[in-house]
Amino acid sequence: RVVAALQADVARLEGQLEELARRHEKTSAEVFQITELSKEVFSLKEALKDQPAAPGLSEVEALRGQVKALQEQREQAARDHSAVVALYRSHLLYAIQGQMDEDVQQILSQILQMQRLQAQGR
């Protein structure tokens, strides 16, 4: 009876030993994984240090201001262009109708003279 009890204790202790061995292996694997992740985090931090700094908030705001100013300039240029085109169209319409301003007639005459001189120079 004592031998059977001791054998039961030995079997129980062997089971506990096996369980501890499994836990040790699992813990070792987790420690290894944590170590690998720590190395990767360190590498990423080092790589991040080598990267140029991200633009700060003030830089972003400055760039937004530049974009807005350029958009306004473009819109103003488009309005100016439309006004010039409308003016030319009205001058052409008046020319077709035979109602041309003296200034416009004089400028057109100068343009024609310059074109003749260029053609003669060739």
pLDDT tens-digit map of 73-83? 988 898 888 88
pLDDT tens-digit map of 32-72? 888 888 888 888 888 877 766 666 678 788 888 889 998 88
Does residue 67 belong to any structural domain of this protein?
no
- What domain range is 22 assigned to? 1-52
H or E element, residue 32: helix 2-50
Do 1 and 48 lie in one domain? The reply is yes
**Taking the model in full, what pTM does it have?**
0.40
Do 38 and 78 lie in one domain? The reply is no
Q: Per the structure block, which two tokens stand in for 102?
A: 């003296």
pLDDT tens-digit map of 79-96? 888 888 788 778 777 777
CB atoms within 10 A of CB 73: 10
